[in-house]
Amino acid sequence: MTVSGGFLRLHRAVWPKLESGFEKKNRSCPRTVLDWSYLEPIQSIDLPKDLEEPEHLLGSVIISRIAIFFLAIAFAFITLIAIPIGGIFTVCSLVPAVLLCLILITRPKIRNQIPGLRRESRGLLAGPGFVRDRQDRIWKAGQAMMLVRPAAGKIGVKQPVQAIIFGAQGAVALNFNSINEPDFKRLWRFWNHQTPRPELADSGI
């Protein structure tokens, strides 16, 4: 299923029509819709039955090859300007190091180990069958849907993926470097929990 930017902008108008369509066909709203390419590998993610403590989940900063290319050009330009000031050896050593650091800290495994970079308060609070954002908007299983689709136009288990949760409250999305990323797996387990407890979202957790 393809979700366009226009769809997200019109989600408030689309959702009532979508619910009405399900009701006419006597079908309940599916909790999750995902791209077919993820179907087989995602089945290996076990869905819990027992109650689990809600967690803050973060997306990843996905850097495309084009972004890296332009970053390289920018640093090369800075290098040419800075050579007269710092010398060739100093600049040529510093610039690649800074570029490498910028790329590395976008990787969840590295970023999450550095105090202050994870910034959990900026993420979504996910619990068994619900998601809550920083504006206290709540999406509950049975009253909202999660769409899992390619985030960068490329389909594959190791490719960037986007999880969009939308309903009457609006839409919220998180990007992940792949479906193998721990935070994506946590979101998947929470949203598709075998014993959803969406009422916990209203408890002020």
Here the tokens at position 61 are: 């900063």
Query: What per-residue confidence (pLDDT) applies to 4?
Result: 45
> Rounded CA gap, 175 and 57, in Å?
11
Query: What per-residue confidence (pLDDT) applies to 63?
Result: 53
Bridge-based pairing of strands 170-176 and 161-167 is: antiparallel
Average pLDDT over residues 44-48: 88
pLDDT in tens, 157-179: 778 888 988 888 888 888 888 88
pLDDT in tens, 93-151: 566 666 666 666 656 556 555 554 444 445 788 999 999 988 888 999 888 899 898 88
Q: Three-state SS for 37?
A: helix
Here the tokens at position 31 are: 């909790």
Sheet-wide strand order for 138-140: 55-57, 124-127, 130-132, 138-140
| Residue whose C-alpha is closest to residue 5's, from 171, 132, 161 | 171
> Rounded CA gap, 141 and 103, in Å?
35
> Rounded CA gap, 6 and 27, in Å?
26
- pLDDT top residue among 59 and 66: 59
Query: Which residue is associated with the tokens 């929470």?
Result: 190
